[in-house]
Amino acid sequence: MNKLLAILGLSLLLISPPILWAAGAQDYKEGGMALFRAGQYGKALVYFQNAVQADSNDAEAYEDLGNTYAKLNDIPNARNAYEKSLQINPNNSTLRVLLDNLGSANPPPSSPAHLEDSNYTAPAPANPPPSTKKFDEDGPITNNTPSQKQLGGINRIDKAKLWIKLEGALNYSVQADLVNSATAQNQFIKASPGATGSALADPLGGMAGAEMGLLINPNSGIAIGLRGIRTTDYSSNLNLQNGPATVAGTVYDSDFENETFTPSVYPLTLDYYLFLPDAGGRFFISGGVGYYYGLVHVEDNYSYVIYNNDPNVSDTFSGDLTSGNVGFQVSIGRDFAVGRDLALSIFARGRYARLTNFRGTIYNPNTGGSANDGLAVYSDGSVHSTDVSNIGNNGVTYANIDFSGFDLGVALTFFSY
C-alpha cells in the first residue's frame, strides 16, 4: 500500500499546475526589453517602472526606463530617468551625451527603431509589489501585477544551448516471468507435504541516470542518456523437510534450494524533445530509441540428494547472465527554473524493453568449476539458471526479463550558454 501511495503522490506532482515564482529587477528588465523590442512601449514602461522599484540602485533599469519614456515622447520623465541612471553610474559617457541631446528630433541612439505605441495615453506612476511578490498566473497586466503569461518565453533556460540532467526515480517493470515463477514456487511449496519457504518477485525498483542535451531552438532539442535500472531481487527459499535420510552412506538433513536473481538494465538512449516554455520554466515531451543492456546476477545453492537418491545432485554457483535488445521510451515532465543555470525537474517516463536469451558463465566457488548457463522458464512456470544444453528440451525455454514499465522521478538540470 505504501508503494502504491508513493506512485500516486508522484503522479499528482506531474499534473499539478506550475509553481509561482518571485520576481526581481532582472526579471522585470527582461520582460520590459521583450516588450520594448516588440514595439509595445506602453506595456514595457510598466516593467521598467517595476524594475527600478525593485532595485533603486540599478543604473541600467533607469536607462531602459528613460529610453521607453523617450519613445513615448515623454521628455521630462525621460530626462529624469537618465539623470537618476547617471547619479548611480556617472561614468556612462554615452548616456550623458544622450541626455544633453534629449529633445532633438532624433530618437535615442541606444533605443531600437520601432513605431510608437498607439495604445499609450499617459505615463502612469509605478506602484509595483516588492520583489517577493508572486506573479498572478491569470491576472491582467496592471502597474502592480505583471502576469506570468506576459513573461512567457523569456526565461534564460529557453536559450541554453546545452543541458545536463541528473535523474533519480521510482521504477516499475513488468517482470512477468519472474512474478509467475514466484507464484509457481509458492504453489509447489504449498502442495509439498512438510515443505517450508517462500518465493518473492517485486516489480518495483529504482532508476538513476544522466542525460546531456543540445537545444535546437526554444521548442526542440535532442539528448543522449545513460541510465541504470534495478528491480527488487527475485528470491526463492525452499526446504522440503524430507530428511534425515541416508544416501550412499551419508546422512542428509533435508533437500533445499535457495535462489536469488538480481535483474538490472542499462539503457543508452537517444531522444527528441519538444519544449513548451513559459516564464517559470518549461513543459517537455520526449520520445526516442535506446539499446538496453540487461544483466541478471545469479546466486544458487541447492541439494536434491534425497529427492533424487543421488549424492551428486548438489551444488553452489554464482555468476552474471547478460542480454541486450533495442527498446523505446517516451516521457513527459516539467523543468522549474530555480536559477540562471539550474532547474528542478519532475517527469514520468514509459518504456518498452523486453529482453530474452540471458546467457553467461557461472562459477562454483567450492570446486572452481564453471558452466555456460542460461536463464530459463520450466514447464511448471518456475525460472531457474540452467545449462544451456537443457534449454529447448522438455518444455524449457529462455526466460523473458521484461523491463517494460515506467519511472516517476525528479532531476536536477544544469544549463550552459
* Percent residues over pLDDT 90 in the chain: 64
Mean pLDDT, rounded, for 156-179: 92
End-to-end CA distance of the chain: 45
Query: In the CATH scheme, what architecture does the domain 20-145 have?
Result: Alpha Horseshoe (1.25)
For residue 141, the model assigns a pLDDT of 40
| Residue of higher predicted confidence among 209 and 7 | 209
Cβ neighbours for 404, distance < 8 A, ≥ 6 positions apart: 173, 174, 327, 351, 352, 353, 354
Does the pLDDT of residue 122 top 80, yes or no?
Answer: no
In the numeric block, which cell numbers belong to residue 149?
503569461
Does the pLDDT of residue 113 top 80, yes or no?
Answer: no
For the segment(s) 157-416, the CATH number from 3.40.980.10, 3.40.50.1010, 2.40.160.20, 3.30.1490.100 is 2.40.160.20
Mean pLDDT, rounded, for 270-292: 94
In the numeric block, which cell numbers belong to residue 356?
530474452
Does the pLDDT of residue 114 top 60, yes or no?
Answer: no
For residue 189, the model assigns a pLDDT of 94
Distances (CA, A) of 58 to 21, 63, 161, 246: 21, 9, 28, 93
For residue 104, the model assigns a pLDDT of 53
- Enumerate the domain spans of the chain: 20-145, 157-416
Peptide bond into 244 cis (omega under 30): yes
Mean pLDDT, rounded, for 376-390: 95
Q: 220: helix, coil or strand?
A: strand
Instruction: Quick: pLDDT tens for 242-268.
Output: 989 999 999 999 999 999 999 999 999
Residue 142 and residue 373 in contact, taking contact as beta carbons nearer than 8 Å = no
Distances (CA, A) of 206 to 72, 118, 162, 170, 230: 59, 58, 27, 5, 6
| Mean pLDDT taken over the chain | 84
Does the pLDDT of residue 106 top 90, yes or no?
Answer: no
For residue 103, the model assigns a pLDDT of 62
Band the pLDDT of 45: cuts 50, 70, 90: very high
Quote the pTM value.
0.65
